[in-house]
Structure 1
Amino acid sequence: MKHFFLSPWCRYSLAVVLTASMVASCSKSDEGSDAPATGKATPYVTRVLDFRPAVGQFVNQLPEYEAGDTQETMNRKALEAIGNNNRGMISLGGFGGYVVVGFDHTIENRAGLCDFRVLGNAFYANGQSEYGSSEPGVIEVARDLNGNGRPDDDEWYEIAGSSYPEAAESWLAKASEAGNDVRTILGYEITYYRPATEPGAPTEEYIRWTDNQGQSGYRAMNSAHLQSYFPQWIDAAELTFRGTRLPQNGIDLSGAGNNYALYKFGYGYADNEPNNNDRSAIDIDWAVDAQGNPAGLTGVDFIRIHTGVNQENGWLGECSTEIMGVEDLHLLGVEIDSRTIKK
Structure 2
Amino acid sequence: MKFKNRTAVSEFLLLELTEDPQCQPLIFSLFLVIYLVTILGNLLIILAVTSDAHLHTPMYFFLSKLSFNDICLSTTTIPKMLVSIQIQDQSITFIGCLSQMNVALIFGGLENCLLAVMAYDRYVAICHPLRYTVILTPCLCVLLVLFSLFISTVHALLHTLMVLRLSFCTDLKIPHFFCELVQVIKLACSDTFVNNLLIYLVASLFAGGPVFGIIFSYTQIVSSILRIPSMGGRYKAFSTCGSHISVVSLFYVTAFTVYMSSAVSDSPIKNVVTSMMYIVILQMLNPFIYSLRNREMKAALRKLITLL
Higher helix share: 2
TM-score of the superposition, structure 1-length normalised?
0.20
Q: Report which of the two structures shows the higher radius of gyration computed on alpha carbons.
A: 2
Higher strand share: 1
TM-score of the superposition, structure 2-length normalised?
0.22
